[in-house]
Structure 1
Amino acid sequence: MIRHIVMWKVAAGSGAERQAACELVKRQFESLADRVPGLLHIEVGVDISHIDYAADVVLLSDFESASALRAYADHPAHTAVRDALEGVRIWRQQVDYAVPD
């Protein structure tokens, strides 16, 4: 199994704008559940610490294999989410790793 973790900082001015942007990212990625072959689990969390160096949103997803993760990158549902979020995020960090059996 491959775990795919992504963290984003959203582009927003006020606290209300930031929260709305975070909720949009959360809804968009959660919409991928049961729509992408090989995607076993998806979880999206919004930061509650509000520490200046914290990411705003984190995605944790599990894929049955590395090839399933690669296929996810170009899956139409995923590319639609990426397109819908264009300009919402200002930075992104990612880690992919094999989960020990």
Structure 2
Amino acid sequence: MIRHLVLFKLNDGVVRDDPRVVEGARIFASLGEKIPELRFWECGWNVSDRPIAYDFAINSAVEDAEALRAYVEHPEHQAGVALWREFATWVIADYEF
């Protein structure tokens, strides 16, 4: 199995109730039901107010590298990424467990 973690940081001046952000969170929240390669899916807003904290996180798992590739290339995922690219940056980590 591969764990896929993503941490998002909203760009300066962008707030959670920005309509683009609301839509981006909605799209990502729905991916667990739309992408069959996902074995585990959760996402949500950070509750910490520490200055080094990121704003939004995805924690997911897929079976193997082929499934990860299918997830990354899936049109629903790509639509979410395109939207988030407008208002945030992110870092990822993929590791076997």
**Range into which the TM-score falls when normalised by the shorter chain:** 0.7 to 0.9
Alpha-carbon separation, structure 2, partners of 1:31 and 1:23: 13
Q: What is the aligned-residue RMSD (CA, Å)?
A: 1.7
Residue 52 of structure 1: how far off its partner (Å)? 1.5
TM-score (norm 2): 0.84
What's 1:7 paired with?
A: 7
Residues 24 and 83 of structure 2 are in contact (CA less than 8 Å); yes or no, is this contact kept in structure 1?
Answer: no
Alpha-carbon separation, structure 2, partners of 1:59 and 1:75: 16
Unaligned runs of 5+ in 2: none
Q: What does 1:61-76 align with in structure 2 at a 5 Å threshold? A: 61-76=60-75
Q: What does 1:86-97 align with in structure 2 at a 5 Å threshold? A: 86-89=85-88, 91-97=89-95
TM-score (norm 1): 0.81
Query: How many aligned residue pairs are there?
Result: 95
Q: What does 1:24-63 align with in structure 2 at a 5 Å threshold? A: 24-63=23-62
What's 2:15 paired with?
A: 18
Give % identity. 34
Residues 43 and 58 of structure 2 are in contact (CA less than 8 Å); yes or no, is this contact kept in structure 1?
Answer: yes
Residues 6 and 93 of structure 2 are in contact (CA less than 8 Å); yes or no, is this contact kept in structure 1?
Answer: yes
